[in-house]
Amino acid sequence: MNESKPNGETATAVATATPASEPPREKLTKKAITADHPTWCPGCGDFAVLASFYKVLEKRQLEHEKIVTLAGIGCSSRFPYFVNGHGAHYIHGRAVPLASGISLARPDLHVFLFGGDGDGFSIGGNHLDHGARKNINMTYFIMDNFVYGLTKKQTSPTSPIGFKSKTDPTGAIDQPVNPMKKLISAGATFIARTHAANVTHMIQLIERAFDHQGFSVIECLSECVEFFPDVFDPANPKKGGSFEVIQEKKWDNTPEDELRHDVTDELAAYKLASLPFPGVFGVFYETDRPTKNSLEKKWIENTREKTGNASDLEVLQKTFDKMK
Ligand SMILES: Cc1ncc(C[n+]2csc(CCOP(=O)(O)OP(=O)(O)O)c2C)c(N)n1
Ligand code: SF4
Ligand SMILES: [Mg+2]
């Protein structure tokens, strides 16, 4: 299990402390994690994402009661129904604020957030920006299918120009969002991209995002076979495409390393994000920046000290008294 992910030193102690009287834990199996039968269309890319997530939970043997899966609204956002753990299918686009509150109030939990391109980049775009800049500890997995699937084929913020949908019957005319660029500029501290047809790669990235302290986001090209079929074939070797993986620097002083990508270089990440579709896959950007969780914890501790360790009620009463 990853001991370092829950935020801060105290949180780690909370997450790992097992009372002497507690019986040994049963192994966390796929059966134990699996909840309802997924209700996606046969062939939907989201199935592979769920399977990869189960694999990571099983591999990491997280404490079952510490797993939280959250989502907004959309086909992809049905995700929490299918995971046996704490979770909520929340308001369209508002899952980041919900996840932020849970992450800050319960730093011992593993907060996983799932959703679609509409949920994350359209109605929830503003929340995404603020979760990123505040670097709130969570792992956000965005299943990007370039369309609103649940509501049956409207143009989404990632739909390419020319895409014919119910909202653009003659073809989309608006410049799509570039998820990697948006996340880099917003200040997310772990930003990666994968494809639902490549389960091994997806699992690797979920694990890396999970190990990261802070706001980690993975955009996953996940095909909507109903309303935008075959759009991701150019990045699927099984369908004649190529899946180009970002070669990260190994810092081994070899001439080859000069050409490899430095994941801490924002500008280099931005250049990678500018490559034409289907682009490249892997970690675009990763940096260490204090999380809001750790900063807020410090601030609370300092404030407590200043108030002579007054109770919450005493602090509240003092504040009310000042208002009189
Ligand atoms: C406030 C609000 N506005 C609009 C909707 C209707 N709605 C539900 S899901 C959705 C878009 C879903 O698209 P996406 O997030 O890409 O998920 P997908 O279904 O493609 O996985 C919309 C517009 C809603 N439920 N709530
Ligand atoms: S409509 Fe599209 S995104 Fe929704 S379940 Fe079906 S294939 Fe998946
Ligand atoms: Mg979508």
pLDDT of residue 8: 41
Instruction: State yes or no: pLDDT of 4 exceeds 70.
Output: no
Mean residue pLDDT across the chain:
93
pLDDT of residue 18: 53
Return the residue whose CA atom lies nearest to atom 24 of ligand 1. Answer: 92
Return the residue whose CA atom lies nearest to atom 5 of ligand 1. Answer: 92
Which residues does residue 86 pair with via DSSP β-bridges, in sequence order? 68
- For residue 60, give Cα distances in angstroms to 39, 102, 280: 26, 21, 27
Within 135-259, residue ranges assigned H as helices are 179-186, 199-211, 255-259
Which residues does residue 219 pair with via DSSP β-bridges, in sequence order? 142, 193
DSSP secondary structure, 21-55, as one string:
TSPPPPP--HHHHB-SPP-SPTT-THHHHHHHHHH
**What does DSSP say about strands 138-144 and 110-116: parallel, antiparallel, or unpaired?**
parallel
1 falls in which pLDDT band (50, 70, 90)?
very low
61 falls in which pLDDT band (50, 70, 90)?
very high
pLDDT of residue 87: 96
- Ligand 1 centroid from CA 77, angstroms: 9
The predicted-structure confidence for 189-237, as pLDDT tens digits, reads as follows 999 999 999 999 999 999 999 999 999 999 999 999 999 999 999 999 9
Ligand 1 neighbours by CB, cut-off 6 Å:
73-76, 92, 115-119, 123, 143, 145, 147-151, 156
Q: What integer is the mean pLDDT of 283-288?
A: 98
| Composition of the chain by helix, strand, coil, percent to 5 | 40, 15, 45
pLDDT of residue 10: 38
Return the residue whose CA atom lies nearest to atom 2 of ligand 2. Answer: 224
Q: What integer is the mean pLDDT of 257-263?
A: 97
- Ligand 2 centroid from CA 119, angstroms: 14
Instruction: State yes or no: pLDDT of 78 exceeds 80.
Output: yes
Surrounding ion ligand 3 within 5 Å at CB are: 116-117, 145, 149
- Quick check: CB of 278 below 6 Å from ligand 2? no
pLDDT of residue 3: 37
- Ligand 2 centroid from CA 166, angstroms: 16
Q: What integer is the mean pLDDT of 105-120?
A: 97
pLDDT of residue 20: 63
Return the residue whose CA atom lies nearest to atom 26 of ligand 1. Answer: 92
pLDDT of residue 303: 87
Whole-angstrom distance, CA of residue 96 vs CA of residue 101: 9
Instruction: State the CB neighbour count (10 A cutoff) for residue 114.
Output: 31
**Token digits for 140?**
């956000």
Q: Which atom of ligand 1 is nearest to the CA of 148?
A: 13
**What does DSSP say about strands 86-89 and 67-71: parallel, antiparallel, or unpaired?**
parallel
